[in-house]
């Protein structure tokens, strides 16, 4: 079953949107296999956003991700990576369609509430970065 890493970034936690966002993933039919709150260190943020190193918004992005608690989750299901990204909407809240998480709750590009892995390969690497293998549960039933 495909898995994806989802982060509810510090703005989502600070704005009390955690339950609202988790509800959307549950109602869509994805299954929660790991969940924890993390105060991301600079090192963790650097590793998570290594691909953005050197971009003009990089330092500000690191400051944002380390500014408060993040809710880190792993969701699984059929096409979990792309399903999560459809639920999230586009990176820029102002361009994201109503009905998506970013489209419904924000206008910012940087403070865009949520991160989801962009490919199954990156999901595997990101899950390994944020979680120990024993933090993921395994369900016995398939529903
Ligand atoms: P995310 O999906 O976590 O992936 C990279 C993050 O960088 C993105 O969400 C935004 O938070 C941030 N980001 C992307 N583009 C910009 C930009 N042009 N200006 C500021 N932040 C950005």
| Per-residue pLDDT reduced to its tens digit, 86-143 | 999 999 999 999 999 999 999 999 999 999 999 999 999 999 999 999 999 999 877 6
Q: Give yes or no for residue 48 CB within 6 A of ligand 1.
A: no
- Counting the structural domains of the chain, the total is 1
Q: Does residue 140 sit within a domain? A: no
Annotation-wise, does 91 bind a ligand?
Answer: yes
Q: What is the CATH number of the domain that holds 94?
A: 3.30.70.141
ipTM above 0.95, yes or no: yes
- DSSP per-residue codes, the chain: --EEEEEE-HHHHHTT-HHHHHHHHHHHT-EEEEEEEE---HHHHHHHTGGGTTSTTHHHHHHHHTSS-EEEEEEESTTHHHHHHHHH--SSGGGSPBTBHHHHH---SSS-SEEE-SSHHHHHHHHHHH--GGGS---SS--
Q: Does residue 9 sit within a domain? A: yes
Q: Does residue 87 sit within a domain? A: yes
Instruction: Please tell me the pTM assigned to this model.
Output: 0.97
Q: Does residue 143 sit within a domain? A: no
Distance from the alpha carbon of residue 22 to the mean position of ligand 1, in angstroms = 21
pLDDT of residue 35: 98
Structural domain for 77, as ranges = 3-135
Q: Does residue 27 sit within a domain? A: yes
Q: Does residue 128 sit within a domain? A: yes
Active site residue 115: yes
């Amino acid at each position: 079953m495909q898995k994806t890493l989802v982060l509810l970034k510090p703005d989502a936690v600070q704005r009390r949107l955690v339950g609202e966002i988790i509800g959307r993933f549950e109602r869509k039919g994805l299954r929660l296999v790991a969940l924890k709150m993390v105060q991301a260190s600079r090192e963790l943020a650097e590793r998570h956003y290594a691909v953005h190193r050197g971009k003009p918004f990089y330092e500000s992005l690191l400051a944002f991700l380390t500014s408060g608690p993040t809710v880190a989750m792993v969701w699984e299901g059929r096409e979990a990576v792309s399903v999560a990204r459809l639920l999230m909407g586009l990176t820029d809240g102002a361009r994201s369609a109503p009905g998506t998480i970013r489209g419904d709750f924000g206008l910012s590009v940087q403070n865009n509430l949520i991160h989801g892995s962009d490919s199954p390969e990156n999901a595997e690497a990101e899950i390994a970065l944020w979680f120990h293998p024993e933090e993921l549960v395994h369900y016995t039933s398939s529903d």
